Amino acid sequence: MSIQLSEPPIFVIGAERSGTTLLMTILGCHSRIAVPEVAWFYPRFYPYLQTYGDLSDRLHLRVLIEEMIFGLKTPFWGIQANPKTIVDDILERVLEPSFAGVYNAILQWYANSVGKPRWGEKTPFNLFFIDAILSDFPNARFIYLIRDGRDVSAEYLESAFGPTNIYAAATVWKLAQDAVKPWREKLQGEQWLDVRYETLVRQPEETIQAVCQFLGETYEPDMLNFYQTDIAQRRSQARDHKPLGHPISDRYIGIYQALLSQRDQRIFAGIAGEELAQLGYEVEVEPLVLTTAEQQRYEELDARIRAATLDAPDGHIVYESYNDWLADQRQIRIQQEIGSAPSLPPLLSKPEYAEELITGQRAWRKWKTYFGIKRQYHSQQLVL
C-alpha cells in the first residue's frame, strides 16, 4: 500500500555528521514546511513489521503507534501533547492500516501542531530504506547531503556516538555512499537533489534557494535564522551540535587535516578513497590497505568501546535502552504468535554488525551483554 500526498514529503538523508541536522533546522524555518527532530522510524521499525501481526487489527496497529511515538529521542518532538490521548489522536489520522499510514499520521500530527501544511523528516540512515520510502510515498523528494568523508570521520571520532576508530568510520561512510549510488543515478532531477555540505556553508543563500526551487517552495530569507529556533538552541546545548546555536559557518571544512593523523588519512583512502574521488574530493595520500587481522582488530575495538561508553558522559544509554526494549518486544510477539519472524532485506541479512548498525543501534548486543551494561530509561541529561 502506498500514499500519494498532495504535498510531497521531504526526506533529508546522508551519512551522519554530513550536515543533515543543519539542513533539517533550516528547512524547518520555512513557513510551509515542518521538519521535526530525527525519528529513526524506518531503520527501527520497517524491517520488523512482520512481528506486529496484521495491522488491519486495530490493537496491533495501536501497538506500532505506541512504540513509534513513545520511542522518539526528543519526547513528542517538543510538542506539549497529552501522553494519555496522543495515540488515539494519531490513530484518528491514519489513512490506511500500514506502516506508511502510521508514519504519515505521526508526521502530519507534528505538522498540524506547528501550523504547517507540509512535512519533512531527517533521519540520516533513511538512505538505506529508499526503496521502502518510494513504495510508501511514491512522490517523495530526497535531499542528499554530501560531505568529505574525512571530515565526517573526524567528527565521528570526536562525537559521543558512532564509529570510534578510523577503520570503522571510513567503513560506515563508504557503506552509506554505496547504498545511495544507484538511487542518485535513478532519481536525480525531479525527486533527488544533491547538496554538498561545503557549498551549503560557503554559499548558504544560493544553496537554500536551489533547495526551495527543487521543492517547489518560495525561498524565505528567515530560513537562515535557523540558529534562533527552539530545535537549534536545544541541540546546541549538546557538545556534538554546538555550532547549531550560531549562524552558518565554513570553519568546519577540512578539519580532518588537524584531527586525523597521516596514517588515519591513509587508512581512510585505502577503504573509501575510490568513493571520495568519485564525489570530487582529492585523495592526497597513498592508500594504506589493512590486513584482515588488522581489520578484525579495529572492528572488535570499535564494538567494545561503543558498548563500554554507552553510559559515559554524553553517552546514548537511554536511546539504546529503548532500542533494546523494542527488540525484546519483537521476540515476545513472535513467541506469542502475534506476529512472525521478520524476513530481513539483503543489506540487513549480512553479519549482525550490519543489521545493528543500519537499524540505529549505537552498540552491539553481544558487547553490551559482555560488559553487563544495564539499561536506563530516564536521564537528567539532554536527550536528542
Residue 343 lies in a domain: yes
Terminal C-alpha separation, the chain: 32
The structural domain count of the chain equals 1
Residue 306 lies in a domain: yes
In terms of C-beta distances under 8 Å and separation of at least 24 residues, what long-range contacts does 23-26 make, across chains too? 23/122, 23/143, 23/145, 23/195, 23/200, 23/211, 24/120, 24/122, 24/231, 25/226, 25/227, 25/229, 25/231, 25/232, 25/235, 25/244, 26/208, 26/223, 26/224, 26/226
Residue 368 lies in a domain: yes
Tens of pLDDT along 148-193? 999 999 999 998 888 999 999 999 999 999 999 999 999 988 899 9
Tens of pLDDT along 7-44? 999 999 999 999 999 999 999 999 999 999 999 999 99
Residue 27 lies in a domain: no
Residue 231 lies in a domain: no
What percent of the chain has pLDDT above 70?
Answer: 98
Residues 6+ apart with CB under 8 A from 57: none
Q: What is the pTM of this model?
A: 0.96
Tens of pLDDT along 204-218? 999 999 999 999 999
Its domain, for residue 340, covers 299-377
Residue 126 lies in a domain: no
Q: Residue 240: what pLDDT?
A: 72
The answer, yes or no, to whether residue 59 has pLDDT greater than 90, is yes
Residue 314 lies in a domain: yes
Residue 110 lies in a domain: no
Give 188's DSSP letter: B
Nearest to 166 by CA among 40, 253, 259, 276: 259
Cα–Cα distance, 185 to 292 (Å, whole number)? 32
